Amino acid sequence: MSKRKLSNLQKSRIRAVQEQRMERAKDGNSITIHKIDNVDDLGPEISGTVVSNFGTQVDVEANDGDLNGKIIRCHMRSNLDPLVTGDKVIWRFAEPYGVVVAQIDRYSELIRPDAYGKLRPVAANVDVIAIVFSPKPTAFSNLIDRYLVAAEAQNIQPVLILNKTDLDTENEFSSINQLVHDYKSIGYDVLSVSAKTADGFESLKDYLCNKTAVFVGQSGVGKSSLINRLQPQANAVVGSLSIGKEKGTHTTTVSRLFHFAHGGILIDSPGIREFSLTHLTQEQVINSFIDFRPYLGRCKFRDCLHKSEPGCSLLDAISQKKILQSRFDNYHQIIMSQESERR
Ligand code: GDP
Ligand code: ZN
């Protein structure tokens, strides 16, 4: 699909710009440096990636220099914007800690409403949202569409991962095969795998190897199992992600960045696996149905609700089988659930 290709191209351009900035930063030339520490005993500037955020401190993985690959607990200059997992930074070492002196612009942000409904970034520079589904628990297209909308609205590429292909419960698989067929026909990548037998893992590894991914999907579909098989080390740390209650605030659950053994990066936390669509406008929701896009803005009435209006371009597309009825029903279901959640 040309739209998808364009956005990949844009992403790779943006990434090239980021890399140039990093290069310039290494050479000591200008980038957006929010504040540089004057203290002389700080080491040279090093590029790094935030692997975990603890409010006032972050763990940064060094991406060059003698400490390359090491994770250093860093303080942040107070006038830096809050950093999140996945942020690219410039930092300086001052045994035993580091100091983050600059944040590089993000090319993508994963946004969540916090406990007070305020939208906040929870991860940066994510390339792909892997939406996991399975025959058991039963996969429903309305749930998959909610995840797809969340991904599209944040401009992050989704990929669908059908897990548990080792199960051969025939009834489930006829409807699963239909789902796979439908999403492929819309233009989405669908990978079929089994975390149990490792079936399909070569394609999965190839797909993830040069990307930063988050895994989402309903409980029980096998996200942890997939992640563990891709990177056993990830699990050990996932258990310690919750850093407990801070004074007077809700329990803070931080996300964490891991490297897959075969290349590629995972950002994970229990909170990152769930989405809410409440904050999206109706326009953002409908635009996130990528198969609707060719028909948007073409209805007879400008304020068409796409329910039963004459001259509705979306209804026409359905009767011509250019849009799936299930996608259309799921769109209306999302709009309705948003309305009732807001009430
Ligand atoms: P999560 O809630 O999405 O993280 O799912 P889990 O990874 O905890 O898996 C839920 C259950 O499904 C566990 O009992 C797993 O052993 C099982 N499971 C995960 N992947 C597979 C698979 O590929 N095949 C089969 N048969 N079971 C699986
Ligand atoms: Zn319409």
Digit-coded pLDDT (tens) for 85-111: 999 999 999 888 999 999 999 999 998
Q: Which atom of ligand 1 is nearest to the CA of 165?
A: 23
Residue 297 Cα to ligand 2 middle (Å): 8
Q: Summarize the confidence of residues 221-226 as an average pLDDT.
A: 94
Digit-coded pLDDT (tens) for 248-285: 333 345 789 999 989 999 999 877 777 788 889 999 99
Q: Which atom of ligand 1 is nearest to the CA of 221?
A: 3
Read off the tokens for 315.
Answer: 């209804």
Candidates 218, 216, 201, 193; CA nearest to 139 is 218
Residue 1 Cα to ligand 2 middle (Å): 23
Digit-coded pLDDT (tens) for 313-342: 999 999 999 999 999 999 999 999 988 887
Q: What is the 3-state secondary structure (H, E, C) of 81-127?
A: CCCCECCEEEEEEECCEEEEEEECCCCCEEEEECCCCCEEEEEECCC
Residue 308 Cα to ligand 2 middle (Å): 8
Nearest CA to ligand 1 atom 5: 222
Q: What pLDDT score was predicted for residue 3?
A: 38
Q: Tokens 């589904």 sit at which residue?
A: 133
Q: Determine the residue of 223, 225, 241 to mutate for testing ligand 1's pocket, defined as the one with the most ligand atoms within 8 A of the Cβ atom.
A: 225
Residue 152 Cα to ligand 2 middle (Å): 21
Q: What pLDDT score was predicted for residue 206?
A: 97
Q: Is the pLDDT of residue 147 over 90?
A: yes
What's the alpha-carbon Rg for the chain, to the nearest Å? 22
Q: What pLDDT score was predicted for residue 257?
A: 94
DSSP 8-state secondary structure symbol assigned to residue 196: T
Q: What pLDDT score was predicted for residue 233?
A: 65
Better-scored residue on pLDDT, 170 or 206: 206
pLDDT band at 243 (very low <50, low <70, confident <90, very high): very low
Q: Is the pLDDT of residue 242 over 50?
A: no
CB 105 within 8 A of CB 32: yes
Who lines ligand 1 at CB under 6 A?
163-164, 166-167, 194-196, 217, 219-225
Q: What pLDDT score was predicted for residue 39?
A: 54
Q: What pLDDT score was predicted for residue 31?
A: 38
Better-scored residue on pLDDT, 51 or 113: 51
Q: Which of 116-125, 166-175, 266-275, 327-336 has the highest mean pLDDT?
A: 327-336
Q: Is the pTM of this model over 0.75?
A: yes
> C-alpha angle 156/208/7, rounded to 5°?
30
Residue 148 Cα to ligand 2 middle (Å): 21
Nearest CA to ligand 1 atom 18: 222
Q: Which atom of ligand 1 is nearest to the CA of 228?
A: 7
Q: What pLDDT score was predicted for residue 343?
A: 80
Q: Is the pLDDT of residue 34 over 70?
A: no
